[in-house]
């Protein structure tokens, strides 16, 4: 019995009881497990072990057969986003048309009229129309209202003229634009009778449907290599007075009549509900790649032995507290993120359905929470991949470990679909708003998501004289309220001293706003964790998950205790007790760690690793990969060696 098998025998809970919690239901868990099992037997969906020796063109083209095979597995249900979880987990890199299905189709369904949906949607699903989401420009990304591309209405010809007025306004970064797209959903400033009516969405053909060549007035291509996303064709797009029919402006909520009247109907914020669908994908699907990182790192840390103990036997690396300190807080954080992501996903779906019916009551709440979770979760996934790589020593540095690719292909998510600092600032704005509402009004704040703001006074008065685990939630609540209170008071002091509110926001309290938003999300993750624990009846599972949740909370409190200390909520003695509690939780989680990562039920083929496979035999696989899977070993290097031998050193 090897070390991995021995470790599995130490697990105290039923691993199968956790799996449905991680996927939201037993049905979804079974679907993912079955999907991954099917994938491992289909040659077209495998990523070659030699993939990272290839040039980018070959890498990109290799994904064509894989994309088609995935679509067959999904029975061509191309607009059902939840089904994409399996494809993202199994593919070593990003898939074709991910942004298209995640953003363009939802935007068309939300912003288009019934007539427009009937005209385009079927062709979109069949990829006859393959679109990209052309919003970001060279000079503007998160600042959507400052986009410079124009859509000027020509009443004489009943057309819009799409134009790029400067280099700054070139569309830059949209995925699927470089090679794949033949249409673009273009966000441009609507101009009618020389008056701007804000940024609106337009369906614009950019390549010929038969030849795939750029249409007249279109300059388009791929932007080049990036740190990751090697097979994602992020592109550039420049328009020179390109004409489209008036019909091509998505007109469910704003339309231009034949005679040039601009008519608004409904809430202009509705367009944001489409972007929420993509952010939902980012916060519910991509964090699961962190489970890949941790499965690899924890298995390898059990199988890897270094240095001897008192009995002269080599220790598993995971026996060392320093290795536990690297990996177990990440594992605890992952669980908090997975459980929170499922809840936020339900909120996004509910909001999306309500918006379709004209009900915007959840829009602000959904916007605030998805901004904060997007920022928090995407940073975590990249950070987790890097720490897992570091925990695996030299082997973690090699692509055969599977870890570098996870980092490379997830770090762009920190910036795309809302740069993380901007996302935190948007959550902070909402938190300050409801904080001031709670202070000045008897009206209750939404209890489901922001209930702690209904208890401002009791939370502000709370003091922790001696730490016990029962006080964790109270401490996290205090951390949120005191950080927001401090930020609000600091802002008002500057404003009351005559400074411009916008200048105060931009230049005086930015880091305080970031801290307030982050503290709230960490608290929100913990209560989501507790709510998920309450949903299971298995006693052993409850205990292990509560230990993991409290490890997560203890790590948060130790990392961010300054606010609590500054406000007299906690004393030095309690900090020491939290630190002792934290190290105790590391030892409690150690025998459970293998079960907690294997609850995700990823098979070896989906992990794409030589060092973290289920059989616990990394060295055989590492050697086999080096000998058999590295095409460079088949090259004839004799000519260059002979050339180097002719170098005459100057003595």
Mind spelling out the 3-state secondary structure of 485-546?
HHHHHHHHHHHHCCCCHHHHHHHCCHHHHHHHHHHHHHHHHHHHHHHHHHCCCCHHHHHHHH
Query: Which of 422, 134, 110 lies closest to 267 in space, CA to CA?
Result: 110
| The pLDDT of residue 647 is above 80 | no
Q: What tokens appear for 651 in the block?
A: 């003595």
Residue linked to tokens 């280099």: 167
Residue 81: the pLDDT is: 58
Asked whether 172 and 136 are in contact (CB, 8 A), the reply is yes
Q: pLDDT at position 84, please?
A: 61
Residue 268 scores a pLDDT above 80: no
Stretch 508-512: mean pLDDT: 95
pLDDT at residue 31, rounded to an integer: 87
Q: What is the rounded CA–CA span in Å between residue 577 and residue 251?
A: 60
pLDDT classification of 262: cutoffs 50, 70, 90 = very high
User: Distance between CA 58 and CA 534 in Å, rounded?
Assistant: 49
Average pLDDT over residues 39-45: 85
Q: CB neighbours of 413 closer than 8 A, spacing ≥ 6?
A: 282, 286, 378, 381, 382
Determine which of 146-155, 220-229, 271-280 has the lowest per-residue pLDDT on average.
271-280
Instruction: Among 219-233, 369-383, 498-512, name the one with the lowest average pLDDT.
Output: 219-233
Bigger pLDDT: 88 vs 205: 205
Instruction: Residue count of the chain, please give it.
Output: 651
Q: pLDDT at position 271, please? A: 64
* pLDDT level of residue 287 (50, 70, 90 thresholds): very high
Task: Identify the DSSP state of 646.
Answer: T
Query: Residue 121, Cβ neighbours under 10 Å: how many?
Result: 16
> Span 523-550, mean pLDDT?
96
pLDDT at position 480 over 90: yes
The DSSP call for residue 320 is S
The better pLDDT of the pair 604, 67 is held by 604
**What is the structure's pLDDT at 574?**
92
Q: Please check whether residue 235 is in contact with residue 221, taking contact to mean a CB–CB distance below 8 angstroms.
A: yes
Handedness of CA 103, 52, 180, 43 (dihedral sign): negative
Whole-number Å distance between alpha carbons of 97 and 182: 12
Burial 596-606 (b: 16+ CB within 10 A, else e): bbbbbbbebbb
pLDDT at 94 over 70: no
The residues facing 24 across adjacent strands are none
d(CA 573, CA 463) in angstroms, rounded, equals 13
Q: How far apart (Å, rounded) are the C-alpha atoms in residues 561 and 574?
A: 11
Q: Is 135 helix (H, G, I), strand (E, B) or coil?
A: coil
As a whole number, mean pLDDT of residues 241-247 equals: 97
> 250 and 131 in contact (C-beta within 8 Å)?
no
Strand, coil or helix: 213: coil
Catalytically annotated residue among 137, 417, 477, 522: 417
Sequence-ordered strand ranges (E) for 24-73: none
User: What pLDDT is recorded for position 77?
Assistant: 64
Residue 91 has pLDDT above 90, yes or no: no
Residue 311 has pLDDT above 90, yes or no: no
Q: What is the model's pLDDT at position 41?
A: 87
Q: pLDDT tens digits, residue range 564-601? A: 999 999 999 999 999 999 999 999 999 999 999 999 99
pTM for the model stands at 0.92
176 classed as catalytic: no
The Cα–Cα gap between 162 and 418 comes to 25
Measure the CA–CA gap between 639 and 240, rounded to whole angstroms: 50
Q: Measuring CA to CA, which residue among 41, 20, 23 is closest to residue 82?
A: 23
First-residue to last-residue Cα distance in the chain: 60
Residue among 523, 289, 512 nearest 421 (CA): 512
Q: Write the CA distances from 276 to 131, 280, 524, 568, 575, integer angstroms.
A: 18, 6, 19, 39, 39
């Amino acid at each position: 019995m090897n070390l991995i098998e021995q470790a599995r025998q130490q697990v105290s809970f039923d691993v199968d009881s956790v799996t449905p919690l991680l996927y939201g239901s037993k049905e979804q868990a079974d679907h993912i497990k079955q999907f991954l099992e099917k994938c491992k037997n289909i040659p077209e969906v495998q990523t070659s072990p030699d993939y990272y020796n290839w040039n980018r063109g070959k890498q990109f083209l290799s994904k064509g057969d894989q994309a088609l095979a995935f679509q067959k597995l999904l029975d061509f249900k191309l607009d059902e986003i939840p089904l994409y979880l399996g494809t993202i987990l199994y593919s070593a890199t990003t898939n074709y048309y991910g942004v298209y299905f995640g953003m363009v189709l939802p935007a068309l369904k939300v912003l288009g009229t019934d007539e427009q949906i009937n005209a385009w949607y079927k062709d979109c699903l069949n990829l006859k129309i393959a679109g990209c989401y052309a919003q970001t420009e060279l000079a503007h990304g998160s600042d959507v209202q400052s986009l410079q591309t124009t859509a000027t209405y020509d009443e004489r010809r009943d057309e819009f003229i799409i134009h790029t007025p400067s280099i700054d306004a070139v569309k830059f970064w949209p995925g699927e634009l470089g090679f794949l797209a033949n249409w673009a959903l273009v966000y441009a400033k609507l101009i009618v009778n020389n008056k701007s009516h804000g940024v609106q969405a337009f369906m614009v053909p950019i390549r010929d449907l038969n030849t795939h060549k750029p249409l007249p007035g279109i300059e388009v291509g791929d932007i080049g290599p990036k740190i990751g996303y090697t097979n994602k064709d992020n592109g550039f797009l420049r328009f020179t007075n390109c004409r489209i029919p008036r019909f091509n402006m998505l007109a469910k909520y704003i339309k231009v009549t034949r005679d040039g009247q601009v008519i608004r109907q409904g809430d202009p914020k509705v367009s944001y509900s489409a972007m929420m669908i993509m952010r939902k994908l980012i916060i519910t699907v991509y964090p699961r790649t962190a489970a890949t990182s941790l499965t690899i790192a924890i298995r390898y840390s059990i199988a890897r032995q270094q240095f001897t103990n008192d009995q002269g036997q080599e220790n598993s690396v995971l026996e060392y507290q320093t290795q536990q300190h690297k990996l177990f807080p990440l594992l605890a954080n992952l669980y908090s993120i997975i459980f929170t992501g499922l809840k936020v996903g339900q909120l996004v779906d509910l909001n999306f359905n309500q918006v379709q019916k004209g009900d915007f009551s959840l829009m602000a709440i959904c916007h605030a929470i998805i901004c904060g979770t997007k920022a928090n979760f995407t940073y975590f996934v990249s950070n987790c991949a890097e720490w897992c790589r570091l925990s695996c020593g030299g082997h973690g540095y090699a692509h055969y470990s599977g870890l570098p690719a996870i980092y490379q292909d997830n770090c762009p998510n920190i910036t795309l679909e809302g740069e993380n600092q901007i996302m935190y600032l948007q959550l902070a704005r909402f938190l300050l708003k409801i904080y001031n509402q709670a202070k000045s009004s008897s009206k209750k704040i939404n209890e489901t998501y922001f209930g702690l703001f209904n208890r401002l006074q009791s939370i502000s008065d709370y003091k922790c004289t001696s730490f016990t685990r029962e006080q964790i939630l109270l401490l996290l609540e205090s951390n949120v309220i005191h950080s927001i209170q401090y930020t609000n008071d600091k802002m008002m002091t500057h404003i009351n001293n005559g400074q411009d509110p916008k200048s105060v926001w931009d230049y005086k309290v930015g880091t305080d706003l970031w801290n307030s938003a982050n503290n709230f999300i960490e608290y929100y993750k913990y209560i989501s964790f507790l709510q998920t624990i309450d949903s299971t009846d298995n006693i052993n599972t409850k205990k292990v998950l509560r230990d993991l949740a409290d490890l997560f909370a203890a790590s948060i409190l130790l990392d961010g205790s300054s606010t609590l200390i500054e406000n007299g909520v906690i004393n030095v003695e309690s900090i020491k007790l939290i630190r002792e509690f934290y190290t105790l939780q590391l030892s409690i989680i150690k025998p459970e760690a293998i079960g907690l990562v294997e609850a995700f039920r990823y098979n070896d083929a989906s992990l794409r690793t030589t060092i973290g496979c289920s059989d616990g035999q990394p060295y055989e696989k590492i050697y086999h990969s080096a000998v058999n899977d590295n095409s460079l070993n088949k090259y004839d290097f004799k000519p260059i060696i002979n050339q180097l031998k002719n170098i005459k050193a100057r003595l």
